[in-house]
A and B are shown apart, each in its own frame.
Chain A
Amino acid sequence: EPEVTQTPSHQVTQMGQEVILRCVPISNHLYFYWYRQILGQKVEFLVSFYNNEISEKSEIFDDQFSVERPDGSNFTLKIRSTKLEDSAMYFCASRGDLTGYTFGSGTRLTVV
């Protein structure tokens, strides 16, 4: 069964450093998403991406965040200058026109 692949599974970074989280969505999917889950809390929408542009973003997705689909297969989330409160599990998801969501297994980001 097709999967959404996220790398790395764990990342530890120092406060103020830039971090890039990578995702390979399912190849024929058209819509791409990032979600975030702070430890012990609910999963929150960050951003959606369609047709090579952001279609919606949440209040969480401020200027420190950016997304990119650089080569037609990868879908990345960049955090420019990480803060302690960015520590969370980040989930990538993709979907096709008629299919449901498929989530990746997540990247656990720890900012120290």
Chain B
Amino acid sequence: AQKVTQAQTEISVVEKEDVTLDCVYETRDTTYYLFWYKQPPSGELVFLIRRNSFDEQNEISGRYSWNFQKSTSSFNFTITASQVVDSAVYFCALGGHGSGGSNYKLTFGKGTLLTVNP
């Protein structure tokens, strides 16, 4: 069975602080994908990143960066110089082939509510 753990339920920071959101996953699949989504108060799921299990390179996109460590089954997300607009719930998700088919359903963590205060 697949599992995603986001141990931080809520994080509150002051604008311009750096913040890291943790994600730990469990899977028996050898090929899988990891995702981060942002859910603002309006409710939609905004795609941030997808990472293939074979690609452990860290990625940076503007103020966002991701640290994938297969050895610790973690895929952490860092926002540098946070802004009020970053306030949202952030979900980490794991997608795998499960029984070996092409189904590729996503298992989500419980999310981390990030509040950035001015």
Q: A residues bordering B, Cβ < 8 Å?
A: 31, 33, 35, 41-45, 48, 50, 55-56, 89, 91, 95, 100-103, 105-106, 108
Assess the A103–B110 pair: CB atoms within 8 A: no
Number of B interface residues in the complex (CB < 8 A): 23
Pair count A-B, CB < 8 A: 56
6 tightest A-B CB contacts, nearest first: A105-B44, A43-B108, A100-B50, A103-B45, A42-B110, A45-B105
Residues of B within 8 A of A50 (CB): 102-103
Task: Contact check, A45 vs B47: say whether CB atoms are below 8 A apart.
Answer: no
Which B residues have a C-beta under 8 Å from some C-beta of A?
A: 33, 35, 37, 43-45, 47, 50, 91, 93, 95, 98, 101-111
Instruction: Indicate if the CB atoms of A42 and B47 lie closer than 8 Å.
Output: no
Task: List chain B residues, Cβ under 8 A from A48.
Answer: 103-105
Q: Evaluate contact between B102 and A31: CB separation under 8 angstroms.
A: yes
Using Cβ atoms and an 8 Å threshold, which residues of chain A touch B102?
A: 31, 50, 55
Chain A's nearest CB lies how many Å from the CB of B77?
Answer: 16
Which single member of B43, B91, B104, B111 contacts A106 (CB below 8 Å)? Answer: B43
Complex Cα gap A50–B110 (Å): 27
Option from A33, A42, A44, A89 in Cβ contact (under 8 Å) with B43: A89
Is B47 touching A101 in the complex (CB atoms < 8 A)? yes
Residue in A31, A45, A100, A105 whose CB lies within 8 Å of B35: A100
CB distance from A51 to the nearest CB of B (A): 10
In the complex the two chains form, is A42's CB within 8 Å of B105's CB? no
A13 to B105: give the CA distance in the assembly, Å.
29
CB pair A31–B104 under 8 Å, yes or no, is: yes
Q: How far is the CB of B87 from chain A (nearest CB, A)?
A: 16
Tell me the bound Cα distance from A45 to B33 in angstroms: 16
Chain B residues, Cβ within 8 Å of A42: 91, 108-111
| From A31, A41, A102, contact of B110 by CB (8 A) | A41
- A-B contacts, 16 of them at CB < 8 A, read A31-B102, A42-B109, A42-B111, A44-B108, A48-B104, A48-B105, A50-B102, A56-B98, A100-B35, A101-B106, A103-B44, A103-B45, A103-B47, A105-B44, A106-B44, A108-B43
